[in-house]
Structure 1
Amino acid sequence: MVPLITDRDTECSLRWCDETGYHATHRLYLESIRGRGRREGMVGVNLIQDDRRGADVRVEVTSSNAAQRPLSALHPDTAAELAEALASAVARAQRLSHYGKDVTIAHPVVAGP
């Protein structure tokens, strides 16, 4: 049974998770890289983990831009920042996967007013 969280501001019991309220995926926002051109938008690098015991920590890459262009069309400086952010995210994901599997704790039940 999924615990009931009724307060959107309730912090996650998983220490590294930035999400609040009910969420099925834990997420740690690591980097937001602004594109160099008008059409590049922004690229995000995050760590995510499903809310189930033993789930792997994964690296998530997101993008937002007005033209909805694919990530394959990045300015070289933006691509270099993305490569650095990915390398850092991989290292953190590996550490959390190795040490953090036992720290996944179910969401607390929070009663509403």
Structure 2
Amino acid sequence: MKMYLKGGKGIEKPLDFDGNEIKEGDILTFDSFDKDIDDVFYKTYYSSWSEKELTEWRHRPTYKVKWNDRGYFYGEGIKDPKDEFSGRLYLHDFRFKYTKIVKQ
């Protein structure tokens, strides 16, 4: 079964976690700067990882910002799916505020 999502909100000038405006072509981190994904989350699920490994993981290039013809930005995973059962990562524009721009 595949799940299809309706789309974004059409945010005119989306901002990243640091308040930088996100534009088409920008490369973003994973949306791990959400307050719900805090130190407790990482200590629970990634307890064997060093602080350096966690920092590198949270800041890794994950999405490329693209424009949808329906009038909104979205993030498309930059890595190809591993197999036929996993899809490419997708990021809604309302989740941009939990990412950081890696490259403009």
State the TM-score, normalizing by the size of structure 1.
0.26
Decide which structure has the larger Cα Rg and report it: 1
State the TM-score, normalizing by the size of structure 2.
0.28
More contact order relative to length (CA 8 Å, sep ≥ 6): 2
